[in-house]
Structure 1
Amino acid sequence: MSNCSERKGLSASGLELFAGVPAGIVAHIEEQCTWHRFDAHEFVIENQSKRSYGVFFLVEGEVEIFKPISNRECMSLVKLSAPDCFGEFGAVSREMGSASVRTLTPCVIAEISSERFLSLLNACPAASLYLFKKVVSLIKNLGEESIHHHSAHHALETAHRNAVLRSP
């Protein structure tokens, strides 16, 4: 990772979060960000870190958000491609995240403090509405995944029961 002092041509304005946010406010937010360049396969966030993080605007590249499930295994939660953002839920809840984020490709990422991000949400209803829609979408997807998981579990139980009944 390296700080990105020269960010000519780089902008977070393409993020859906900023749709409906006046260009002057987006420019002001960009000025308050710390800009970073990451190589592929670098950690942006490590869940064991005691460092407090802000909100990240993925301007270029792709990242994977994952959660360790054991000392050797990780569960991929989502892959994000620019333009997108992450860390916003931790900023709103004011809690440390439990997931890690690693770059899949070279990335440019702008980081803003949680406090400044919350000020954005307070000042810009469009940004707050975007975040609310994102939460609703995640909840709906979790519900669908739960239904698929339950259906798969039921199918496995049925197959196992049938196999047991057919065995000599």
Structure 2
Amino acid sequence: MKRLITTLVLVLATATAVYAQPSSQTAIANFIGKDGKETGRAALTQGKTGVLIEVEVTNLPPGQWVAFHIHETGKCDAAHNHESAGKHFNPGNTEHGFLAANGPHAGDMPNQYVGADGVLRGQVFNSMVVLDNAENGIRGRALMIHAKSDDNRSQPSGDAGERLACAVIE
């Protein structure tokens, strides 16, 4: 009986340790606004052919479309307008925008609508990226919300305007 209890305890301890580890199939990104305060979160899930990004961010310009991108560097320095996140993630060295002849970047995603309450709530599936271990992997990079909508043509970033909120993909 003592051996059975010891075995059960060992099995439970192992199972707990396995489930406590972060999954390589999921990631979280906490948004930081221009003021340096946390303003929202994204949950990312690896799918068979890309990554699903579920996002909710507050304190944005109400009632308008805003650009939503993946940027190349996982740094969000609000004191310097989130410029630390670098350019759009572009491992294929393509043009910016869904409407560009040789686009889009892997980090280009559809514009998102901010409700009258100043909250962006959305789900975006990006088939050009994966979470880990590949040239197009995005863990450790940044998600960015811009002040204006992306025109999907202008080079190099769609004339999307100022960087309002940034989140490192953990």
TM-score, normalised with respect to structure 1: 0.29
Give 1 or 2: higher strand fraction: 2
Give 1 or 2: higher helix fraction: 1
